[in-house]
C-alpha cells in the first residue's frame, strides 16, 4: 500500500541537541511538507519542497532545517536553536501543482524535551 511513514513515533530531545525526524513516501509525489501541530493552533507550515534538491521556508522555519536529496525522503532536523520544540510533527505529500488534490499525511512524530 502507498503511504507516508514517519519515524520515530516518539522522540525526546536533550538541551543543546539536534534531532532528526524521518519522513518517507512511496506515493511518487513531488511535493512534501512538514507541519507543526500545537493544541488549539491547527497546523503550521515549517518547510515544503516541490522538487528534489529544492525547498522553501514556511511560516515557522526558524530553528528547523530540511533536506531533499531523494524524491521519497524529506527529513526534518530540529536544531538546538528551536527553543520550544515540544509538539506533534506531521509530514505530508501531494501532487505538485494540483491545488485540487488533497495532501496525504503520515501518523506523526511527538517530540518532547527531557
Partner 1 sequence: AQSVTQLDSQVPVFEEAPVELRCNYSSSVSVYLFWYVQYPNQGLQLLLKYLSGSTLVESINGFEAEFNKSQTSFHLRKPSVHISDTAEYFCAVSGGYQKVTFGTGTKLQVIP
**Strands of 64-66's sheet in order across:** 4-7, 19-25, 76-78, 64-66
Residues 60 and 88: beta-carbon distance below 8 Å: no
Binding of residue 47 to partner 1 (CB under 8 A): no
Q: Is residue 87 within the footprint of partner 1 (CB under 8 A)?
A: no
Angle, CA 41 vertex, CA 79 and CA 68 arms, to 5°: 40
How far apart are the C-alpha atoms of 4 and 57, rounded to whole Å? 21
Contact between 40 and partner 1 (CB under 8 A)?
Answer: yes
CB of 1 to partner 1, least distance (A): 14
Question: Please, what is the minimum distance in Å from the beta carbon of residue 2 to partner 1?
Answer: 14
Asked whether position 45 contacts partner 1 by CB under 8 A, the answer is yes
Question: Given the rule CB under 8 A, which residues bind partner 1?
Answer: 4, 6, 9, 33, 40-43, 45, 48, 58, 90, 92, 99-100, 102-108, 110
Amino acid at each position: 500500500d502507498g503511504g507516508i511513514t514517519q519515524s520515530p513515533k516518539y522522540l525526546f530531545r536533550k538541551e543543546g541537541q539536534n534531532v532528526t525526524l524521518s519522513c518517507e513516501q512511496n506515493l511518487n509525489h513531488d511535493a512534501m511538507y512538514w507541519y507543526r501541530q500545537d493544541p488549539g493552533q491547527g497546523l503550521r507550515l515549517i518547510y515544503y519542497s516541490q522538487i528534489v534538491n529544492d525547498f522553501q521556508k514556511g511560516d515557522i522555519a526558524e530553528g528547523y532545517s530540511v533536506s531533499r536529496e531523494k524524491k521519497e525522503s524529506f527529513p526534518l532536523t530540529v536544531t538546538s536553536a528551536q527553543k520550544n520544540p515540544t509538539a506533534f510533527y506531521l509530514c505530508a505529500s501531494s501532487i505538485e501543482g494540483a491545488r485540487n488534490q488533497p495532501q496525504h499525511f503520515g501518523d506523526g512524530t511527538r517530540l518532547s524535551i527531557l
